[in-house]
Amino acid sequence: MSTDSTRASIRAVASLAGVSPSTVSRALNSPELVNAETRRRVLECAERLGYQPNRAAQSLVLGRTRNVGLIVPDIANPFFAPFIKGVEAYFRDTEFAVFLADTDEDTATEVRLAEAMVERVDGLILCAPRMSGTRLRAVASKTTVVLANRTSRTAPSILQDFQPGMDQAVAHVHALGHRRCAYLSGPANSWSNRQRRKFLGAACAERGIELVDLGPYEPRFAGGFRAADEVLAADVTAVFAYNDLVALGVLSRLTARGVPVPGKPVPGKPVPGKPEPGVPGESGGLSIVGVDDVPMASMTNPPLTTVAIPVAALSRAAAATMHSMLDPGAPKAPPLPPAAELATRLLIRGTTGPV
């Protein structure tokens, strides 16, 4: 819509309501400056005429864009898809639009995108950001920031509780007899990676399990595929992967090498493929535990044992927190869900079994 047609529409609303065009503008953009009866009359006339304010013009006048930026590490990672959908769904019925950006797991790209978006949005939701604390403070000094799965004194953080799921996973493999396990770490600058390793290590130490650290690996299928050979060389009986994609990559490579997952094959049945020399074959195998519970985790053969992340609660809480900061008068539910809704939990499927 052109500026002239926008002004004509404002004048038409003003004429029908019996007020000045400036009063129409105040009633729509700064209702606290207009008495309730006048604002009601203006809104009724605007609706009758089908008037829609020009968002670009409004942003120039008010200094607000009514846009929210959302930056995620990897759109192709199926963990982030429901997070994106959750944020989009929350803002769908508000006056805010969501702009999405993907860093492709690159910290420099993340910083560049964040700095570019601060000029175009009223606030930024950063999901699992990898940038340094200094960079994060610089971004937060220019716009409203909400973090998901990253702690900071600079901005509010919505965090998953990794401890319950990790403790359940370690208790599970311990009950199956595993005493030497590996952790396939993700990005070194990932808060989630550090949290998973922290609680995993504490739970293993409590139960007398030796934990071997391998990696870091890229948090993708290819990373797990590459890690599998190093897992076999480490002489462990169970593997905790940084995420499901890494776990599925390990499962694929072990299958190709003829290593049974989770353990001994059924007597009398052949092992798929021919085990390579020095690799657990008919005499053993490996158990695998992932993290995230992405959709394909339950579709593999065998289906993946994994620590489920309540991503819907995470995304809803991040969006609600941002909304409450940008529009304090919004009649929304409290932004933070009960702690139980952000707790992780173990889902036992087919990739774990007795030593």
Examine residue 267 and say whether the peptide bond preceding it is cis (omega within 30 degrees of 0): no
Residue 210 one-letter amino acid: E
Q: Does domain 67-160+312-342 have CATH number 3.40.50.720?
A: no
Tens-digit pLDDT profile for residues 75-96: 999 999 999 999 999 999 888 9
Residues ≥6 apart with Cβ < 8 Å to 214: 182, 183, 184, 185, 227, 230, 231, 234
Q: Which residue, chain included where needed, has tokens 């995420």?
A: 243
For residue 334, what pLDDT band results from cuts at 50, 70 and 90?
A: low
Model pLDDT, residue 93: 84
Phi then psi dihedrals of residue 31, to 5 deg: -60, -25
Between β-strands 210-214 and 238-241, what pairing exists: parallel, antiparallel or unpaired? unpaired
Tell which CATH architecture fits domain 163-309: 3-Layer(aba) Sandwich (3.40)
Question: What burial letters (b/e) apply to 87-104, b meaning 16+ CB within 10 Å?
Answer: bbebbeebebebeebbbe
Distance, in Å, from the CA atom of 226 to the CA atom of 231, rounded to the nearest integer, reads 9
Query: Which of 6-15, 51-60, 66-75 has the lowest average pLDDT?
Result: 51-60
3-state SS assignment for residue 138: helix
Distance, in Å, from the CA atom of 34 to the CA atom of 24, rounded to the nearest integer, reads 9
Model pLDDT, residue 119: 86
CATH of domain 3-62: 1.10.260.40
Q: Cβ-count burial of 321 within 10 angstroms (0-12 exposed, 13-18 middle, 19+ buried)?
A: buried
Distance, in Å, from the CA atom of 234 to the CA atom of 237, rounded to the nearest integer, reads 9
Tens-digit pLDDT profile for residues 3-32: 444 444 778 888 888 888 878 877 876 677
Distance, in Å, from the CA atom of 165 to the CA atom of 199, rounded to the nearest integer, reads 9
E-only strand ranges, 23-149: 67-72, 97-102, 123-127, 144-148
Between β-strands 305-308 and 345-347, what pairing exists: parallel, antiparallel or unpaired? antiparallel
Q: Cβ-count burial of 306 within 10 angstroms (0-12 exposed, 13-18 middle, 19+ buried)?
A: buried
Tens-digit pLDDT profile for residues 142-164: 999 999 999 999 999 999 999 99
Could you tell me the residue ranges of all domains in the chain? 3-62, 67-160+312-342, 163-309
Sheet containing 180-184: order of strands: 210-214, 180-184, 238-241, 287-292, 305-308, 345-347
Q: Fold identical between 3-62 and 67-160+312-342? A: no
